[in-house]
């Protein structure tokens, strides 16, 4: 082990997932010398040629391309009075690692939040009587208007080749799309994926019942696509190995397929894999960073000097790096002082599985994002939440992200092993469909992140500690959604239904996968008093540090996060190019 200092660069990027890759190409195109550091291995596309990813055990069970808990665990507790315990195995969420990050093996549902979702605090203040919501709730508005951010959603849609059906074009509602979506400046770049049997049954029934189903907006491209950077994607062939797998067909928008192939050819861009950044190095006054320090594959400690530091290492890894580097002050929920770690939020799932003796769903013939959903039950679109005293909603959907057999659901009462289990598999594999919910999740005073006093990573640094549990607001929402889902399920007339929703006394179960849609912890806002970043994702405290990722969301909406991560990252890149480079310093004055 020795100490090495690299040549200085204009921009160092920590983590090469979606956020890091977007920053890399946007800033490299501006002529800056950009270097990305990625803790995991390189993952070139040839590693994923057919048939390698067609392997459920390696990719979906053993998480072949994910970070291991051994290297990337955090600790969890339900409230501040408890001792947190480590996530020794992944369960509720599972972060990626390696070039491409989670964007290599995500599902590809690329959907925007609604205009109300972005201004939730304003909506709550207007729609709910004072005092009718949990007094510990700390929801906030995003610090920009729909009109300001929409062009960046539009750009990210085009980077990915978004496939789907337009619902609102410049304020005009379009048939077959989501009537609740915010106005788009241009239609979806590509038509929707084809519906699998489950989604067509679901959509027809939901429509009959008065809901407004539309095809899941998808970054698994339905047709050949050339994106604004000149990268080409091939039509998805519904291979069935999508969510948790790298794409074997160049069809899923990933950092590799849409950005990295292009930026790697630029002489002013370089990257290092197996480079684990352990801190951002600050100048003595803590107002600017001078670079970052990483451990390379030979265990050398390397200092990388840089004029601008981009932390794009995923939501909770970003928060942890800020804390380990002394950027800003760690949040204290008692005094509500400090900004790093506040407004952490996760989300919940729930579903009903419908079994039909006489139907073949061929669940393997599917793409990650195939499915239909509706957005009728989202804030501002229905009144019951106000009456019942909760705020929030869900996308309600029937999707079929994968159909490989390990983990197949079997009807209630089927034995877990022995002859009964085996014959259950023969009788029921391919004969069920799910109707699911993906919910909003609000932020609360007591839900936060800080550094764990007891547990360390293999590099000797404290693990991040997560304090989180379900609140009545989220549990009441689950019970409400359950009735809707079961109503649709019964209408479909299956032979049996099994259900999986949270009860009013549920605690967060970290053992069951929900999704890797963790948000908050270093949020964007209008004031350094209660946010870590300004609207350009710039640290209020250290002005040459920018922190794109889900960490910037003040609470979680029912839409999947990556469209918004893409949009705010592009918005921030634009501000760096047009404003910061000319006049380095805080971009928002308070």
Partner 1 sequence: MSKDKFSPSRRTILMATAAAVPLVSVPVYRAARADGLEGVELAQYQPVFFSAAEWQFLLAACDRLIPAEGRGPGALETNVPVFIDQQLHNGLGDDVYMAGPHKADAPSTLGFQGTFTPQQSYRTGIKLAQQVAQQKHGKPFEQLAPADKDALLTALQKNEIVFADLGEPGLKASSFFNQMLGDAKNGYLADPMYGGNKDMKAWVAIGFPGARAAYTEWVDQHNVKYPLGPVSVSGKRA
Ligand X SMILES: Cc1cc2nc3c(=O)[nH]c(=O)nc-3n(C[C@H](O)[C@H](O)[C@H](O)COP(=O)(O)OP(=O)(O)OC[C@H]3O[C@@H](n4cnc5c(N)ncnc54)[C@H](O)[C@@H]3O)c2cc1C
Side-chain-side CA neighbours of residue 205 (13 Å): 21
The helix/strand/coil state of 427 is helix
CA 49 – CA 177 distance, rounded (Å): 34
> Looking only at residues 163 through 222 of this chain, which bind ligand SF4 when binding is defined by CB under 6 A?
220
Max alpha carbon distance in the chain (Å)?
72
Question: Nearer to ligand X by C-beta: 72 or 575?
Answer: 72
> Looking only at residues 509 through 538 of this chain, which bind ligand X when binding is defined by CB under 6 A?
516-517
CA 473 – CA 476 distance, rounded (Å): 5
Q: Is 238 in the site for ligand SF4 (CB under 6 A)?
A: yes
> Looking only at residues 36 through 55 of this chain, which bind ligand X when binding is defined by CB under 6 A?
37-40
Selection from ligand X, partner 1, ligand SF4, none that 520 binds (CB < 5 to 8 A by kind) is: none
Q: Is 417 in the site for partner 1 (CB under 8 A)?
A: yes
> Which one of 212, 447, 448, 517 is the catalytic residue?
517
Which tokens sit at 388?
């019942």
Tally of CB atoms within 10 A around 390 = 25
**Looking up tokens 């939440």, which residue turns up?**
385
> Looking only at residues 133 through 152 of this chain, which bind ligand X when binding is defined by CB under 6 A?
none
Give, in degrees to the nearest 5, the angle at Cα 213 between 209 and 217.
165
Quick one: which of 236, 292, 319, 352 contacts ligand SF4 (CB under 6 A)? 236
Q: Looking at 104-112, 169-177, 265-273, 488-496, which segment touches ligand X (CB under 6 A)?
A: 104-112
CA 127 – CA 300 distance, rounded (Å): 56
Quick one: which of 19, 248, 410, 466 contacts partner 1 (CB under 8 A)? 248
- Asked whether the beta carbons of 532 and 523 are under 8 A apart, the reply is yes
Q: Is 81 in the site for partner 1 (CB under 8 A)?
A: no
> Looking only at residues 499 through 538 of this chain, which bind ligand SF4 when binding is defined by CB under 6 A?
none
Site track 344-383 with ligand SF4 (rule: CB under 6 A), x = hit: -----------------------xx---------------
The least distance separating ligand SF4 from the CB of residue 232, rounded to whole angstroms, comes to 14
Residues in the interface with partner 1 (CB under 8 A) total 67
Backbone angles phi, psi at 420, to 5 degrees: -60, -40
- Asked whether the beta carbons of 555 and 442 are under 8 A apart, the reply is yes
> Looking only at residues 258 through 317 of this chain, which bind ligand X when binding is defined by CB under 6 A?
276-277, 312-314, 317
DSSP class of residue 523?
-
The least distance separating ligand SF4 from the CB of residue 244, rounded to whole angstroms, comes to 10
Q: Is 109 in the site for ligand X (CB under 6 A)?
A: yes
Which tokens sit at 167?
């619902």
Selection from ligand SF4, ligand X, partner 1, none that 516 binds (CB < 5 to 8 A by kind) is: ligand X
Quick one: which of 87, 114, 198, 249 contacts ligand SF4 (CB under 6 A)? 249
Question: Nearer to ligand X by C-beta: 220 or 442?
Answer: 220
- Asked whether the beta carbons of 252 and 218 are under 8 A apart, the reply is no
Q: Does 517 participate in catalysis according to the annotation?
A: yes
CA distances (Å), origin 144, targets 92, 118, 534, 537, 566: 31, 8, 10, 12, 15
Q: How do beta strands 9-14 and 301-311 pair?
A: parallel
Kindly report the three-state secondary structure assignment for every residue of 25-53. HHHHHCCCCEEEECCCCCCCHHHHCCCCC
Selection from ligand X, ligand SF4, partner 1, none that 350 binds (CB < 5 to 8 A by kind) is: none
The least distance separating partner 1 from the CB of residue 190, rounded to whole angstroms, comes to 15
Kindly report the three-state secondary structure assignment for every residue of 353-391. EEECCCCCCCCCCECCCCEEEECCCCCCCCCHHHHHCCC
Which tokens sit at 93?
């969420």
Q: Is 237 in the site for ligand SF4 (CB under 6 A)?
A: yes
The least distance separating ligand X from the CB of residue 256, rounded to whole angstroms, comes to 12
CA 548 – CA 581 distance, rounded (Å): 18
Quick one: which of 9, 18, 371, 375 contacts ligand X (CB under 6 A)? 18
**Strand locations in 67-221 (E):** 75-77, 85-86, 168-169, 172-173, 214-215
Beta bridge pairs of residue 444: 137
The least distance separating partner 1 from the CB of residue 431, rounded to whole angstroms, comes to 10
> Looking only at residues 178 through 217 of this chain, which bind partner 1 when binding is defined by CB under 8 A?
194-197, 200
- Asked whether the beta carbons of 228 and 238 are under 8 A apart, the reply is no
CA 162 – CA 235 distance, rounded (Å): 12
Quick one: which of 31, 405, 487, 585 contacts partner 1 (CB under 8 A)? 405
Q: Is 460 in the site for partner 1 (CB under 8 A)?
A: no
Quick one: which of 31, 70, 384, 487 contacts partner 1 (CB under 8 A)? 70
The closest of 24, 139, 97 to 471, measured between CA atoms, is 139
The least distance separating partner 1 from the CB of residue 292, rounded to whole angstroms, comes to 25
Selection from ligand SF4, partner 1, ligand X, none that 459 binds (CB < 5 to 8 A by kind) is: none
Burial (CB count within 10 angstroms: exposed 0-12, middle 13-18, buried 19+), residue 196: buried
> Looking only at residues 332 through 391 of this chain, which bind partner 1 when binding is defined by CB under 8 A?
359-362, 364-367, 370
Q: Is 102 in the site for ligand X (CB under 6 A)?
A: yes
Q: Which residues bind ligand X (CB under 6 A)?
A: 14-20, 37-40, 94-98, 101-103, 105-109, 243-244, 276-277, 312-314, 317, 516-517, 549-550, 560-562, 565
Q: Which residues bind partner 1 (CB under 8 A)?
A: 50-57, 61-63, 68-70, 73, 76, 83, 85-89, 91, 194-197, 200, 235, 237-241, 248, 359-362, 364-367, 370, 404-406, 408, 416-419, 421-423, 425-426, 429-430, 454-456, 507-511
**Would you name the residues annotated as active-site residues?**
517
Q: Which residues bind ligand SF4 (CB under 6 A)?
A: 220, 236-239, 241-242, 245, 247, 249, 251-252, 367-368
């Amino acid at each position: 082990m020795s100490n090495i200092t690299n040549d200085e660069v204009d921009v160092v990027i920590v983590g090469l997932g979606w956020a890091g890759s977007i920053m890399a190409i946007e800033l490299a195109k501006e002529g800056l010398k950009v270097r990305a550091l990625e803790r995991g291995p390189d993952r070139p596309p040839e590693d994923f040629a057919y048939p390698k990813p067609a392997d459920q055990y390696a990719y979906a069970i053993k998480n072949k391309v994910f970070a291991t808990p051994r290297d990337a665990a955090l600790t969890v507790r339900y409230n501040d009075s408890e001792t947190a315990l480590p996530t020794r195995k992944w369960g509720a969420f599972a972060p990626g690692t390696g070039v491409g990050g989670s964007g290599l093996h995500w599902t590809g549902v690329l959907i925007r939040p609604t205009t109300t979702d972005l201004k939730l605090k304003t909506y709550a203040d207007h729609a709910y009587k004072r005092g009718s919501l949990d007094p510990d709730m700390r929801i906030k508005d995003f610090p920009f208007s729909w009109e300001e951010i929409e062009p960046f959603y539009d750009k990210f849609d085009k980077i990915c080749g978004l496939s789907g059906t337009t619902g609102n074009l410049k304020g005009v509602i379009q048939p077959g799309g989501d009537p609740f979506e915010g106005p788009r400046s241009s239609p979806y770049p590509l038509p929707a994926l084809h519906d699998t049997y489950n989604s067509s049954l679901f959509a027809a029934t939901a429509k009959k019942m008065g809901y407004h189903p539309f095809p899941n907006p998808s970054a698994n491209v339905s047709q050949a696509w050339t994106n604004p950077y000149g990268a080409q994607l091939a039509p998805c062939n519904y291979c069935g190995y999508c969510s948790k797998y790298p794409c074997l067909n160049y069809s899923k928008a990933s950092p590799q397929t849409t950005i990295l192939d292009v930026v790697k050819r630029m002489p002013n861009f370089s990257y290092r894999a197996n480079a684990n950044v352990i801190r951002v190095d600050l100048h003595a006054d803590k107002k600017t960073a001078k670079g970052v320090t990483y451990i390379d594959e030979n265990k050398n400690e390397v200092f990388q000097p840089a004029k601008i530091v981009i932390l794009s290492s995923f939501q909770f890894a970003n928060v942890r790096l800020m804390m380990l580097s002394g950027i800003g002050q760690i949040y204290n929920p008692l005094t509500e002082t400090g900004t790093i770690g506040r407004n952490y939020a996760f989300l919940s799932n729930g579903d009903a599985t419908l079994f039909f003796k006489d139907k073949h769903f061929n669940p393997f013939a599917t793409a990650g994002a195939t499915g239909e959903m509706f957005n009728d039950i989202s804030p501002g679109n229905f009144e019951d939440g106000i009456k019942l005293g909760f705020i929030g909603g869900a996308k309600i959907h029937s999707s079929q992200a994968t159909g490989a057999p390990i983990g197949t659901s079997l009807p209630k009462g089927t034995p877990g092993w022995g002859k009964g289990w085996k014959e259950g598999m023969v009788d029921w594999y391919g004969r069920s469909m799910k109707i699911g919910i993906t919910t909003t999740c609000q932020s609360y005073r007591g839900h936060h992140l800080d550094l764990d006093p007891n547990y360390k990573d293999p590099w000797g640094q404290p693990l991040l500690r997560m304090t989180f549990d379900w609140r009545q607001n989220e549990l009441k929402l689950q019970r409400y959604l359950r009735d809707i889902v079961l109503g649709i399920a019964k209408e479909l007339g299956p032979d049996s239904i099994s259900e999986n929703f949270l009860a009013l006394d549920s605690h967060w179960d970290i053992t069951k996968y929900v999704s890797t849609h963790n948000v908050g912890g270093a949020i964007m806002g209008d004031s350094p008093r209660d946010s870590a970043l300004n609207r350009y994702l710039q640290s209020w405290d250290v002005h040459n540090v920018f922190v794109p990722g889900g960490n910037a969301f003040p609470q979680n909406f029912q839409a999947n996060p990556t469209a918004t991560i893409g949009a705010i990252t592009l918005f921030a890149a634009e501000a760096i190019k047009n404003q910061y480079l000319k006049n380095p310093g805080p971009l928002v004055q308070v």
